[in-house]
């Protein structure tokens, strides 16, 4: 037991001596440091030593600071890239919106031009009219028809003429509550009485199907119709008002042995491009019926007059 106490006392003594030596060493070094700092502050002889030490330590400083600079640069670059990406996305979104607005403005400008052209196309009309929009186009190969956004509620009626800014489009053939169907002049069932503006020759223009030229029929080869002549509605038959452009003569062919010319006509209306049209309101149905009845009466009187002439001619014989 006494031996153990002696050993612990010896260890304590050694530890105390060790701690005391370390303390004296710290004090000595601290004093030396103070002396050196005072000497360095008051003397200029240590500048060369400072310069040499700075040169020796510089590579170490660079090697330590470089990774930090690289890390800061990467952080800044990543942040800048994110910021630029976000700004680019925002700019693209703004550009898309501006393009959409521009398209809307262009579309409105086109519609305004079409409306102004439509209004200019009816300068001498004494009848009412209303603007309609084309909603759909028939996809059937032999039908040239379109659907308008006006119907019975807008007082559209069957047989109502339809024009665009450049000429006659066609005629309403079916009316619903909110929409109506129009048969275009190029439809194979379409037939329009026309008159040559230059010579006054009357004839019938018929359609030959979607995308094809119109055809002027029953025109004798002796008739004065030339390429470039303008054809307008003659008003006969009371289906279309008089004076609307129908087409322009594109080709006149006369074949030996035939009595009638083969005449091709380009439609005046933009059948495949127009989006807005005018529905022309003609006279009231009662007035139209009365006029048709007058035409029938005139025809009957002409037939009776012809029969009377034939009877008188036979009697003279």
User: Is there a domain that residue 151 lies in?
Assistant: yes
**Above 80 in pLDDT, residue 231?**
yes
Quick one: average pLDDT of 187-193? Answer: 93
Asked whether residue 71 is assigned to any structural domain, the reply reads no
When the pLDDT of each residue in the chain is averaged and rounded to a whole number, the result is 76
For residue 9, tell me if it sits in a domain: no
Tokens 């009776």, residue located: 304
Which pTM was predicted?
0.57
Q: Kindly state whether residue 185 falls inside one of the protein's structural domains.
A: yes
Q: Are strands 145-148 and 191-196 parallel, antiparallel or unpaired?
A: unpaired
CA distance 282 to 293: 17
Q: What CATH number has the domain bearing residue 278?
A: 2.40.10.340
**pLDDT in the model for residue 194:** 94
CA distance 274 to 166: 10
- How many domains, in total, are found in the chain? 1
Specify the pLDDT at position 317.
41
Asked if residue 47 belongs to a domain, the reply is: no
Q: Which long-range contacts (CB under 8 A, 24 or more apart) does 186-190 make?
A: 186/144, 186/210, 186/211, 186/212, 186/214, 186/267, 186/271, 187/143, 187/144, 187/145, 188/142, 188/143, 188/144, 190/144
Share of the chain above pLDDT 90, in %: 25
Per the domain annotation, does 246 fall within a domain? yes
Contacts of 166 (CB under 8 A, 6+ apart): 117, 121, 245, 268, 269, 270
**Strand, helix or coil at 299?**
helix
Whether the per-residue pLDDT at 179 is higher than 80: the answer is yes
Res 267: pLDDT: 95
Token pair, residue 269, equals 């209306």
The residue range of the domain holding 207 is 129-282
Query: Which residues are within 8 A (CB) of 185 and not within 5 positions of it... i.e. 6 or more apart?
Result: 144, 168, 169, 170, 192, 205, 207, 214, 246, 247, 267, 269, 271
Q: Which tops the pLDDT comparison, 97 or 84?
A: 84
* 114 — pLDDT class (breaks 50, 70, 90): low
| 23-32, 70-79, 97-106: least confidently modelled range | 97-106
Q: Quick one: pLDDT at residue 145?
A: 92
In tens, the pLDDT along 269-302 reads 988 888 888 888 875 555 556 555 665 666 666 6
What is the number of helices (H) and of strands (E) in the chain? 3, 12
Is 193 a domain residue? yes
Binning pLDDT at 50, 70 and 90, where does residue 125 land? Answer: very low
The verdict on residue 173 lying in a domain is yes
Q: What is the mean pLDDT of residues 43-60?
A: 61
């Amino acid at each position: 037991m006494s031996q153990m106490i002696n050993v612990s006392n010896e260890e304590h003594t050694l530890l105390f001596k060790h701690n005391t030596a370390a303390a004296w060493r710290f004090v000595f070094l601290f004093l030396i440091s103070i002396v050196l700092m005072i000497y360095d502050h008051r003397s200029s002889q240590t500048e060369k030593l400072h310069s040499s030490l700075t040169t020796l330590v510089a590579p170490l400083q660079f090697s330590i600071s470089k990774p930090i600079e690289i890390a800061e640069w990467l952080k800044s670059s990543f942040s800048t890239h994110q910021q630029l990406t976000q700004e680019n996305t925002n700019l693209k979104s703004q550009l898309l919106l501006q393009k959409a607005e521009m398209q809307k403005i262009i579309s409105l400008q086109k519609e305004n031009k079409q409306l102004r052209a439509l209004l200019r196309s009816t300068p001498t009309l004494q009848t009412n009219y209303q603007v309609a929009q084309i909603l759909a186009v028939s996809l059937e190969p032999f039908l040239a028809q379109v659907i308008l956004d006006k119907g019975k509620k807008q007082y559209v009626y069957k047989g109502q003429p339809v024009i665009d800014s450049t000429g006659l489009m066609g005629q309403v053939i079916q009316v619903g509550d909110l929409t109506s169907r129009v048969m275009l002049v190029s439809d194979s069932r379409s037939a329009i009485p026309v008159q040559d503006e230059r010579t006054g020759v009357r004839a019938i223009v018929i359609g030959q199907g979607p995308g094809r030229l119109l055809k002027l029929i029953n025109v004798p080869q002796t008739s004065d119709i030339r390429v470039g002549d303008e054809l307008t509605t003659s008003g006969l038959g009371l289906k279309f008002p008089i004076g609307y452009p129908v087409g322009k003569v594109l080709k006149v062919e006369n074949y030996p042995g035939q009595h009638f010319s083969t005449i091709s006509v380009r439609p005046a209306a933009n059948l495949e491009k127009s989006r807005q049209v005018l529905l022309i309101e003609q006279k009231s149905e009662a007035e139209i019926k009365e006029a048709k009845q007058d035409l029938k009466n005139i025809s009957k009187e002409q037939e009776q007059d012809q029969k009377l002439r034939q009877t008188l001619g036979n009697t003279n014989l």
